[in-house]
Amino acid sequence: MTLTAGCDVGSLTTKVVLMRRRRLLAARVIKSRVNPQAAADQALQQTLNDAGVARGEVVLCIGTGYGRERIPFVDDTRSEVACHGRGAAWLLPSARTVIDIGGQDCKAMRIDAQGRVEKFLTNDKCASGTGRFLEVMASVLGVDIAALGDLSRASRAPVRLASTCTVWAQADVIKHLNAGLPVEDIGAGVNAAMAHRVAILVNAVKPERDVVMTGGVAKNAGVRATLEKLLTRRVRKFRKADPQLAGAIGAALLAEDNLKARI
């Protein structure tokens, strides 16, 4: 049976999935390294071990993400937009609008029933709508980035940041901390600022139902809740797999498409 792989090397995390006949066999998400090749090799080997298969059994592997050109073992590469669109459709077939918030950029796209991208916009000029923004703010607040979203639930009076620029927002957060404001309220303000920035991009592509989020920020409950209010529509959750795996899943599915096209 044909075994394909997808490798998504992002600025913050590296993801690898193994798929057979469009079924997910195994997956890994690890922190990225300065050397993308080392992270990709580690994630692939761990995923192979989890699935109990040898590297030689992978018939085709496609790479994506900002580090895709530096993955030596991939047979081909595809854009993050194409892979996240395809992966989102596999994770939720009714998805038509995809919000992908990565470590370095944010993308909003409309897709068809097959996960093909019909329209997309990206924000790669400013860190305010990216995972890097949340990473910086979590560090200033002294909390783990994975726990940042929960601060919104605990907040009673979210602060309003004066700017969505990462540099100025960081100064704003420090000012609020020095004033003795609760970390929960400041964190909620950070999540809201991120959501406002992303909503501008999403509205520009004229979103259609169902709306989904891919990437690690999809796990941030505060950003998700604020986005739902701003977009006046529900942001659906995935049940089949981790939203961080969407790009790698899409890459593995595109690899399978390539194999079928050769027959």
Task: Please give the tally of structural domains in the chain.
Answer: 2
Instruction: Give the three-state DSSP class for 94.
Output: coil
253 and 128 inside one domain = no
CA distance 175 to 204: 33
Residues 6+ apart with CB under 8 A from 167: none
**Along the 263 residues of the chain, how does pLDDT read in single tens digits?**
689 999 999 989 999 999 999 999 999 999 999 899 999 999 999 999 999 999 999 999 999 999 999 999 999 999 999 999 999 999 999 999 999 998 889 999 999 999 999 999 998 667 778 888 999 999 999 999 989 999 999 999 999 998 878 889 999 999 999 999 999 999 999 999 999 999 999 999 999 999 999 999 999 999 999 999 999 999 999 999 999 999 999 999 999 999 888 76
In Å, how far from its chain's centre is CA 217?
A: 6
**Can you give the CATH number for the domain in which 256 is found?**
3.30.420.40
- Determine the pLDDT at residue 124: 65
46 and 76 inside one domain = yes
- Determine the pLDDT at residue 263: 62
| Domain of 74, in residue numbers | 1-92+240-263
141 and 225 inside one domain = yes
- Determine the pLDDT at residue 104: 85
Token digits of residue 226? 């604020």
- Determine the pLDDT at residue 247: 98
175 and 258 inside one domain = no
111 and 229 inside one domain = yes
72 and 84 inside one domain = yes
105 and 52 inside one domain = no
- Determine the pLDDT at residue 71: 92
CA distance 40 to 9: 7
The answer to whether 15 and 262 are in contact (CB under 8 A) is no
104 and 219 inside one domain = yes
What type of residue is 137?
A: M
156 and 263 inside one domain = no
129 and 231 inside one domain = yes
What sign for the dihedral angle of Cα 6, 10, 243, 121? Answer: negative
Element (H, E) at 121: strand 117-123
209 and 246 inside one domain = no
- Determine the pLDDT at residue 125: 65
65 and 104 inside one domain = no
Strand order across the 60-64 sheet: 23-31, 13-20, 4-9, 60-64, 76-77
